[in-house]
């Protein structure tokens, strides 16, 4: 079953790549491509990166550059025309991107094209994962939209609103958006806590929940700045290689300690990814 599920992941991602190749001249949205591959938009980009070794936008950029490279090789079309048709706004921007990808500018490549257009990245390593089944938990939180640079401000606001309730609580972060997809400044994030049920709802907090379910949990060690690597290894690596399906829910973070009294290198954070029933 797991082997067939792994093949299913690969086939669905290949469907997305095939579709992307056919529609690379269009303005492609992440939601469109997730629907093509029949994946939840919450997790699609990490799965895509785990399988392909590149993000959706890197793949689209590569496909456009490779098509442009073939056109340069097979025709005498003007470089500026090729650049514009490949979705670049200027000859200069196209030349920089082309040189970054192929190692030489379009004019040189046209005379001496390499044998291989591009290289693939190796699959992601699989982290150690614990499977855990949980009941529904009340989640008291605040909702923010902005940049990840604002996250400390959000936590400070939560502390001010919750006060003494945090003494016996477990701190939770929930980030519905993928920073590889959603522009910085428009990221949604909820910061809050579970494990405490106050008789009265504190003003300024949202009464939400962490749903019951089965979760795959990986431990992230160290700085919060590198949490995205653990997300990618879990969602784009472990799920793909082990063969589980992801539920259509955002991942969450459970903080085992805090920067208030822990050195950055010693921080430990559980990254929870939801497993589909």
Closest by alpha carbon to 126, among 221, 227, 241, 226?
Answer: 241
Neighbours of 190 (CB within 10 A): 20
pLDDT recorded at residue 173? 96
| Every domain of the chain and the residues it spans | 2-111, 130-275
Q: Which CATH superfamily does the domain covering 2-111 fall into?
A: Homeodomain-like (1.10.10.60)
Asked if 9 and 276 touch (Cβ cutoff 8 Å), the reply is: no
pLDDT recorded at residue 65? 87
pLDDT in tens, 137-167: 999 999 888 888 888 899 999 999 998 888 8
Name the helix (H) or strand (E) containing 80.
helix 79-85
pLDDT recorded at residue 123? 60
pLDDT recorded at residue 171? 96
CATH number of 130-275: 3.20.80.10
pLDDT recorded at residue 118? 42
pLDDT in tens, 108-148: 877 765 544 444 455 667 789 999 999 999 999 998 888 88
pTM above 0.75, yes or no: no
DSSP 8-state assignment for residue 246? B
Distance in Å from the first CA to the final CA of the chain: 15
Query: Whose structure tokens read 């469109």?
Result: 32
CB-side exposure of 123: number of CA atoms within 13 Å?
16
Q: State how far the Cα of 129 lies from the Cα of 92, in Å rounded to an integer.
A: 46
pLDDT recorded at residue 74? 63
Q: CA of 263: how far to CAs of 55, 225, 254, 258, 267, in Å?
A: 32, 14, 17, 9, 7
Instruction: Lay out the sheet containing 130-134: strands in order across.
Output: 130-134, 213-221, 268-275, 252-255, 170-174, 187-194, 137-146, 206-210
Mean pLDDT in consecutive groups of 10 residues from the start of the chain, 277 residues: 66 88 85 92 91 87 85 81 86 88 83 51 76 96 86 91 89 85 79 92 89 97 92 90 87 94 96 94
């Amino acid at each position: 079953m797991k082997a067939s599920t792994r093949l299913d992941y690969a086939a669905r991602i290949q469907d997305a790549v095939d579709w992307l190749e056919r529609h690379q001249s269009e303005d492609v949205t992440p939601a469109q491509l997730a629907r093509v591959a029949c994946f939840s938009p919450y997790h699609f980009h990490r799965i895509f990166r785990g399988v392909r070794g590149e993000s959706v936008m890197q793949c689209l950029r590569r496909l456009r550059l490779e098509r442009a490279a073939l056109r340069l090789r097979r025709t005498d079309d003007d470089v500026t025309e090729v650049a514009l048709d490949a979705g670049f706004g200027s000859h200069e921007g196209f030349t920089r991107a082309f040189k970054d990808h192929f190692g030489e500018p379009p004019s040189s490549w046209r005379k001496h094209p390499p044998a291989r257009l591009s290289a693939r990245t190796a699959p992601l390593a699989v982290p150690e994962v614990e499977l855990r089944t949980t009941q529904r938990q009340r989640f008291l939180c605040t909702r923010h939209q902005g940049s990840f640079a604002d996250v400390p401000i959000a936590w400070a606001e939560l502390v001010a609103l919750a006060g003494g309730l945090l003494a016996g609580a477990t701190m939770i972060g929930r980030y519905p958006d993928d920073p590889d997809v959603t522009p910085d400044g428009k990221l949604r994030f909820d910061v809050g806590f579970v494990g405490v049920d106050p008789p009265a709802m504190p003003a300024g907090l949202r009464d939400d929940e962490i749903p019951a379910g089965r979760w795959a949990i990986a431990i992230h060690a160290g700085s919060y700045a590198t949490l995205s690597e653990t997300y990618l290894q879990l969602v784009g690596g472990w799920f793909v290689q082990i063969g589980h399906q992801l539920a259509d829910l955002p991942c969450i973070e459970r903080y085992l300690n805090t920067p208030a009294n822990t050195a950055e290198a010693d921080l430990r954070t559980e990254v929870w990814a939801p497993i589909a029933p």
